[in-house]
Amino acid sequence: MMKTRKILTLGAAVAAALTLGSCSEKKFNVEGTLSEAADSMLYLENVGLEGITAIDSVKLGEDGTFSLSGEQTPAPEFYRLRIHDQIINLCVDSTETITIKAAYPTMAGKYEVTGSDNCEKIRELTLKQMELQERCFKVNRELPGVNGRDSLRNMIEAYKQDVTRNYIYAAPNKPYAYFALFQTVAGMLIFDPQTNHQDIKAFAAVATSWDQNYPDAMRTKNLHNIAINGMRNDRIAQNNTLTEAVTQQLDAAGIIDITLIDNKGQQRSLSDLKGKVVLLDFHVFGMEESPKRILAMRELYNKFSGQGFEIYQVALDGDEHFWKQQTAALPWVSVRDPRGLSSPLLVSYNVGTVPDYFLIDRNSNIVLRMAQASDIESEIQKRL
């Protein structure tokens, strides 16, 4: 009996070991050192299609060492390490161990990563994107008008050519190619999957590769839908150019009408507001100064909305979900043009720098633009 018990015990031990091994094989690990962050909480978060979810966390000690883990997924998935507003983007496509070395508060732009080629490529793309955004903000500050807009377009186009050639088309099946498609500048997608023919082709290349490798993944289905919708839009408007916007008919009152979908899914037209004093605002919620600007506009709205004043705000953000979050509590008309800085509306209204606004009187005549307004409150008051 003793001998039998020993055999059974050994068998149970082996089974337990196999069970533990099986569990460990379903995990990925992110470990390393984040110095200068003692007593800070470090979060490992999943950046999913439906939002961001924390999956592990640790309070850092004096030495900054950490070890976090998450469940393996059947297809590549995206994550981020976060301390306050400092973020390191990651991708996991197996049960790998990813090692990070960085210091707070510069971790977002200065870190080392080993153990994952995808994460190294994402680091390269992140640094490129940060440099592009810094240059775009500098041009926006120092070179207003048409020249500034042309300079921004040239910089973004050069960036896209670099990324498509060296990251997307070089390896469309890799997770970092997917990551590249959804990079943003000032909250706007760099690649336009709705109206830009070349950008649609890039989305389609990655979608095709993911269809082959991960046919059941939610991200694959999402990519597929984006690519299909983009190709459909491209066929409908294949010969349209920005210059065609200039030929739009002015309505009888002297404004170029705008009809876009608002943050509640309803179609809203600028012309529907005739009879009110309207502030037509072109805005990007992803820009650094956005919260301060929105606060000032809320004060105007609270003061004058009861007297016949309205705001028709055109957002140029590429990320629709982000825009909806930012505008959910705003009381005025908030619409979004998915074409972003390539929108023909900017040409039609001769907008060289965003943000910009126009004041429209009760007869739908444009009476003032932002550069001319020294006291917008008194200008509104005069027209009410």
pLDDT for 236-258, tens place per residue? 554 443 334 333 433 334 577 88
Cα(116)–Cα(156) distance, rounded to whole angstroms? 28
Taking residue 67's Cβ as centre, other Cβ atoms within 10 Å add up to: 11
Q: Which token pair is 180?
A: 């590249």
Q: What pLDDT does residue 233 have?
A: 67
CB 318 within 8 A of CB 185: no
Q: What pLDDT does residue 107 have?
A: 95
Cα(17)–Cα(94) distance, rounded to whole angstroms? 21
Cα(111)–Cα(104) distance, rounded to whole angstroms? 10
Cα(101)–Cα(36) distance, rounded to whole angstroms? 12
The CA–CA distances, whole Å, from 354 to 144, 150, 317, 344 equal: 9, 13, 11, 14
pLDDT for 19-70, tens place per residue? 444 444 689 999 999 999 999 999 999 998 878 899 999 999 999 999 999 9
Q: What is the pTM of this model?
A: 0.60
Q: Is the dihedral of CA 215, 219, 222, 228 positive or negative?
A: negative
3-state secondary structure 59-90: ECCCCCEEEEEEECCCCCEEEEEEECCEEEEE
Nearest to 186 by CA among 105, 129, 142: 129
Give the pLDDT of the chain (384 residues) as one tens digit per residue: 333 333 333 333 334 433 444 444 689 999 999 999 999 999 999 998 878 899 999 999 999 999 999 999 999 999 999 999 899 999 998 889 999 999 999 999 999 999 999 999 999 999 999 999 888 888 877 877 777 788 888 999 999 999 999 999 999 999 999 999 999 887 778 898 887 888 888 988 898 888 888 988 989 888 888 888 777 766 655 444 333 433 343 333 457 788 899 999 999 999 899 899 999 999 998 888 889 999 999 999 999 999 999 999 999 988 888 899 999 999 999 999 988 877 878 877 777 778 888 899 998 888 888 777 778 898 999 888
Q: What pLDDT does residue 320 have?
A: 87
Residue 228 has, within 13 A of its CA and on its CB side, a CA count of: 7
Burial of 305 (0-12, 13-18, 19+ CB in 10 A): middle
Q: What pLDDT does residue 363 have?
A: 86
The CA–CA distances, whole Å, from 90 to 152, 203, 223 equal: 28, 20, 19
pLDDT for 308-339, tens place per residue? 999 999 999 888 888 999 999 999 999 999 88
